[in-house]
Structure 1
Amino acid sequence: MSASAAASANREPTDKEIRLVIAASSAGTIFEWYDFFIYGTLAGLIGAAFFPSGNETLQILLVWAGFAVGFGFRPLGAILFGFLGDKLGRKYTFLVTVTLMGIATAGVGLIPDAATIGIAAPIIVIGFRILQGLALGGEYGGAAIYVAEHAPPEKRGFYTSFIQASVVGGFVLSIIVVLTCRWLIPAEDFAAWGWRVPFLLSIILLAISLWMRLKLSESPVFKAMKEAGETSGNPFIESFTYPGNKKRIFVALFGITGVLTTIWYTAFFSSLSFLRGPMRVDESVVEWMLLAGGLISMSFYLVIGRWSDKIGRKLPIILGAGLSLALLFPVFWGMGHLANPGLSAAAERTPVVVTGQNCTPDPFAELFGREQTDCGKLLDALTSSGVRYELREGGALGLSVGGEAQPLDPALFAQGPALRDGVREALTAKGFDFSTQVPPIANILGIVGLLLVMGMLSALTYGSVAALLTEMFPPQIRYSSMSIPYHIGAGYLGGFLPLIAGIIVARSGDIYAGLWYTWIVVAFGLLVAWWGLPSGPPRDFGDA
């Protein structure tokens, strides 16, 4: 960058400018992630409306497949909007992304359900999820870079941590809106049509976000580059040809994004699915617990961002990844024991054993017109009930609980829900509790505490990332270079996490087995981060 451009870029913004930049960028990020997360928050009702199935496991897997599709298109959005952001500017690019997201989200709330228009309903939902993924692929990089390029170097971690906290803020806002709607709308009406209201509210949030962001000026770094004629000719190509950038992109993908995104989605979405699904905790109670955990956790990101300005960006990420490997399983085991003590105690006291042949669950059998084996159907009934089992191949199909064989009516195997209900009835007689759970207040506080542990692990690996990624890449290709690895990692390693974890659970019969996906990705990412991230105090790209 030329001397005049550098001088322009290094102009210290006023406190008023900084407050407006942080507020407008963070608010837009909250609204845009709200739009994306409301789908996951209402996963059960989305499944009933657009992916109806007599198989509970298949229905939720289809919902998470739709969730994953949106993430799958984030890298394409990163390429498209990263190119525009480096060519045309940071401000106008993320104005486009937030508009696209708001329109796509509201559209989901207007789609007739599958009972009305059949297969067209899930197809249209998937289409809107693709638009959301494209929009989100351009949002994060724009907002993070915009704040980072306004921030003085010594406060860059703290100022950009508001963007990181805003991602949690979008999740929290989705829960607040859902809880408010549940309070105002009777339960039957909410299940029938009220769930659409949170999607339609995105139009209001879009208007507020646009109003705030239109008040912003362009990033000083981009303006300086444009005045000096130093913008990139082709940011996408140059992201892979700029000296040393291939290594930076590799580290950003696996050592930063792979770690943060799997921990984040495990902390918030896996816990949501785990508590509402196999632990059978009342939906409103789960939402209140996650609301409390999310609200408090937002402050952790700000603390870690400020801390990284003093000690560097590498240490918090290494610390968070290492602690995650040690604490991931114990935290979820603890939540399971606190959320549904009866189910956990019964599983330990009276182990469930299944014997039979061809005992491989096939959760997608119905979708592809395949016939699942009787043993597979039995295992699916146990998995959807949150019951851990031991599988022994060979012999006639049998189910024993606590060493006592249970009768299996052959007629039930032709009636999916009836088999599940019959299995639950037999297990209930042995002490298993499949009723909707409202844990005692002490247990609720314990679960919130464990959610806060996950929130802290997420903050350690995420709080300083916007500053770190901005500092890793040269300004003329920064939008593209940081967005591409970030959204490949977040889109595939993180976005497919609920689906992959769900399939692992369905295949293994162990409700905790899906956590191994997170553990393996984080373990590999820890090695990459240790090798590839710079140690010591933060420094700009030109100083690296």
Structure 2
Amino acid sequence: MSETAEGEGRPVGRKDGMVIGAASVGTVFEWYDFYLYGSLATYITHHFFSGVNETTGYIFALLAFAAGFAVRPFGAIVFGRLGDLWGRKNTFLVTMLLMGLSTFVVGLLPSYEQIGVAAPILLVVMRLIQGLALGGEYGGAATYVAEHAPQGRRGLYTSFIQITATFGLFLSLVVILLTRSGVGEETFQAWGWRIPFLISILLLGVSLWIRLQLNESPAFQRMVAEGKASKKPLKDAFGRWSNLKIVLLALVGLTAGQAVVWYTGQFYALFFLEKMLKVDGALTNSLVAIALLLGTPFFVFFGWLSDKVGRKPIIMAGCLLAAVTYFPLFGALTMAANPQLARAAASAPVTVIADPADCSFQFDPVGKTVFNTSCDLAKSYLAKAGITYQNQAAPAGSLARVQIGDRVLPSFAGDKMDKAGFKDRKAVWEKDLGAALKAAGYPAKADSALVNKPLVVAILTLLVIYVTMVYGPIAAMLVELFPTNIRYTSMSLPYHIGNGWFGGFLPTTAFAMVAATGDIYYGLWYPVVIAAVTVVVGMLFLRETKDVDIEA
């Protein structure tokens, strides 16, 4: 009997289940730790960035979120090297310890009001440690499980690792919901948001105990026993063009598209509902959690299917479907989640008519810039209110105007007024603009009673299914692309550049694109274009890997 046939015929035994379960449970807790920040970004903005204005504070919070992603490739290099030298098991024990402790510390950090600018600095430091740790975690867990899997079942075995990110996000949402309902919204806003971070110390203890029961992977042990281990895994992985070429192809033709589909379907969808469509935060978390629960079994299904039909066609199909359907799906999400906003945008479209020279790019990293030109005043209010608007050029030197349906409200030149006069005039103008928007049917917040919850869940679930298509088979494919002696290092870097940079910066990039154009859907061009590029590169240049012998 061939090795493939033998592997396919053997059921998942108790020992296999222990390997999969131990690696997966630990990784679930690491993702739980990491995604707490994204789920609680609004509260963190309030407590750690209170010295800056609200809009800049939120952008800062997103950047701090992205900081954890920016360093993930460096974590992949550091811990990937250790994993190829020191072993898979020992390395992901270290990454877990770093992740758990840094998350616990976030729950203890003093706020901006207590220690000033040191608060956001310490927060970003903790995020950097989390990012480094996560950079070493995934490659270790995926490699460890794949090297235990029999030939012909690697897609199925590693698909359980793929569930961990979704379970981690799901677990974070559930803990947040239980904490909010347990302590009340006011207490949660004040200090209750810290509880989910503090709970992580308990999860750290459990996951460390579980992983200590594991042995090193057989492929690594065999490689060491035969003296085939790499003495310089970084040089061997990235200093030789034959391997570096595969790393680059894996990044552009595989992980970049997978990453943007993953983050659009699971994180940006949550951001879009709460920030763009103004759906109640607790309701948003509940709807996303239900969709994740419904969609999660498909990770295992597509992992299993990839053992039959191949990894590549499933991943490419997921990227292609996302690129083709994101715009209509998010449009339908608006209709289902905030029908009042959709109707108002259709019946009374908003246009900012302004001299382009009067408009600036409203990104203020230090929180000290005053946006007080007539154009900036109009755009900043509309962006803060979540209103889609179009831009129309006006003659040079003219004051900006906001057109709502047939009604036109002139802005004012705040840059030509003294501070006191500007403050009073701005308050009156914003009150008038708010009243005009309300009269045109624009809601300040989505009415929870009008949210078509079944339809929202259905759309969110479809987005999650796209995620399972691109993510379910990818661990197996990455493992199969590289040799054992540099596998941990080689697969970790493209995975974490893709997911850390292309995916991790998606919320910040999409938010900036929306703010610049006034179109709440414009940010979707970011994942659509990257997913499309991945389809082209992956189809043309990447080989199928499902039948590769990873110990050859």
With normalisation by structure 2, the TM-score equals 0.92
Q: CA deviation at 1:365?
A: 3.2
Instruction: Sort the Cα spacing of 1:339 and 1:359 in 2 relative to 1 into closer, same or farther, 3 A.
Output: farther
Matches within 5 A, 1:301-320: 301-320=299-318
Contiguous gaps of at least 5 residues in structure 1: 1-11
Specify the SS of the correspondent of 2:153. Answer: helix
Deviations 1:171-194 (A, max 9, x none): 000001000101111111100000
Give the letter for the 2:116 counterpart: G
Partner of 2:5: none
Give the letter for the 2:403 counterpart: S
Give the letter for the 1:206 counterpart: L
Q: CA deviation at 1:242?
A: 4.4
Q: Please, which moves more after superposition, 431-440 or 38-47?
A: 431-440
Instruction: Sort the Cα spacing of 1:424 and 1:480 in 2 relative to 1 into closer, same or farther, 3 A.
Output: same
Give the letter for the 1:381 counterpart: Y
Deviations 1:133-185 (A, max 9, x none): 00000000000000000001111101100000111010000001000101111
Partner of 1:377: 377
Instruction: Sort the Cα spacing of 1:312 and 1:418 in 2 relative to 1 into closer, same or farther, 3 A.
Output: farther
Question: Contact 1:361–1:379 at 8 Å: present in 2 too?
Answer: no
Partner of 2:6: none
Question: Contact 1:29–1:166 at 8 Å: present in 2 too?
Answer: yes
Which of these residues, 486, 492, 498, is aligned with residue 483 of structure 1? 492
Question: Contact 1:360–1:507 at 8 Å: present in 2 too?
Answer: no
Give the letter for the 1:29 counterpart: T
Q: CA deviation at 1:366?
A: 6.9
1:508 is the counterpart of 2:511: no
Give the letter for the 2:404 counterpart: V
Instruction: Sort the Cα spacing of 1:68 and 1:366 in 2 relative to 1 into closer, same or farther, 3 A.
Output: closer
CA distance in 1, matches of 2:519, 2:119: 33
Deviations 1:383-409 (A, max 9, x none): 121111121222322112112112547
Give the letter for the 1:438 counterpart: S
Question: Contact 1:401–1:430 at 8 Å: present in 2 too?
Answer: yes
CA distance in 2, matches of 1:67, 1:532: 33
Q: Please, which moves more after superposition, 239-248 or 309-318?
A: 239-248
Matches within 5 A, 1:250-329: 250-329=248-327
Alignment root-mean-square deviation, CA: 2.0
Specify the SS of the correspondent of 1:370. Answer: coil
Which of these residues, 444, 448, 453, is aligned with residue 462 of structure 2? 453
With normalisation by structure 1, the TM-score equals 0.94
Matches within 5 A, 1:119-518: 119-242=117-240, 244-357=242-355, 358-365=357-364, 367=366, 369-372=368-371, 373-394=373-394, 395-406=398-409, 408=411, 414=423, 422-440=432-450, 443-518=452-527
Deviations 1:231-267 (A, max 9, x none): 1111111002446212210121111110111111111
Deviations 1:302-328 (A, max 9, x none): 000000000011100111111111111
Question: Contact 2:480–2:545 at 8 Å: present in 1 too?
Answer: no
Give the letter for the 2:472 counterpart: G
Question: Contact 2:72–2:131 at 8 Å: present in 1 too?
Answer: yes
Give the letter for the 1:526 counterpart: V
Give the letter for the 1:72 counterpart: A
Specify the SS of the correspondent of 2:391. Answer: strand
Contiguous gaps of at least 5 residues in structure 2: 1-9, 415-419
Instruction: Sort the Cα spacing of 1:408 and 1:151 in 2 relative to 1 into closer, same or farther, 3 A.
Output: same
Q: Please, which moves more after superposition, 484-493 or 210-219?
A: 484-493
Specify the SS of the correspondent of 2:522. Answer: coil
**Matched residues, number:** 532
Give the letter for the 2:202 counterpart: I
Give the letter for the 2:247 counterpart: I
Deviations 1:87-124 (A, max 9, x none): 01000100000110000111111111111111111100
Instruction: Sort the Cα spacing of 1:55 and 1:341 in 2 relative to 1 into closer, same or farther, 3 A.
Output: farther
Instruction: Sort the Cα spacing of 1:262 and 1:104 in 2 relative to 1 into closer, same or farther, 3 A.
Output: same
CA distance in 1, matches of 2:56, 2:499: 24
Specify the SS of the correspondent of 2:207. Answer: helix
Q: CA deviation at 1:367?
A: 2.3
Specify the SS of the correspondent of 2:448. Answer: coil
